[in-house]
Amino acid sequence: AQRVTQPEKLLSVFKGAPVELKCNYSYSGSPELFWYVQYSRQRLQLLLRHISRESIKGFTADLNKGETSFHLKKPFAQEEDSAMYYCALRYSGGGADGLTFGKGTHLIIQP
């Protein structure tokens, strides 16, 4: 069965410092990975997906199939980055086509 692991429940860094939110997955098929973000009092929204290989709000994530990882990175954290971040894996097969989410990492950017 597929699984997404986010080892850090809480990550606190200072403004201007680099940020890395870790995500590891297990999946027997070809993975599609995503990062979702939830800002305070807002709904869950897509931040980026690995197939588009784009940078959103300064964040990037590279899929490393050898290490089964999809870590989210930003070189210089900003206070507005404080939010809940979820890594998700799309799976299909057996009639199901949905997302498996990790438990999330609460990122706090301190001034």
Partner 1 sequence: ETGVTQSPTHLIKTRGQQVTLRCSSQSGHNTVSWYQQALGQGPQFIFQYYREEENGRGNFPPRFSGLQFPNYSSELNVNALELDDSALYLCASSLGQGFAEAFFGQGTRLTVV
Q: Does 44 bind partner 1 (CB under 8 A)?
A: yes
**89 lies in the site for partner 1, by CB under 8 A:** no
Q: CB 73 → partner 1: shortest distance, Å? A: 20
Q: Among 58, 78, 98, 110, which residue sits at the site for partner 1 (rule: CB under 8 A)? A: 98
Shortest separation between residue 60's beta carbon and partner 1, angstroms = 18
> What is the sign, positive or negative, of the torsion defined by CA atoms of 15, 16, 20, 21?
positive
- We find the least distance from the C-beta atom of residue 22 to partner 1, in angstroms, to be 14
Q: Residue 28 Cβ, how far from partner 1 at the closest point, in Å?
A: 17
Question: Which one among 46, 70, 79, 108 touches partner 1, defined by CB under 8 A?
Answer: 46
**SS3 of 88-109:** EEEEEECCEEEEEECCCEEEEE
- Rg, the chain, Cα only: 14
Instruction: Determine if 88 is a binding residue for partner 1 (CB under 8 A).
Output: yes
The whole-angstrom separation of Cα 49 and Cα 35 is 6
Instruction: Provide the residue type at 68 as one letter.
Output: T
Residue with tokens 């290490």: 67
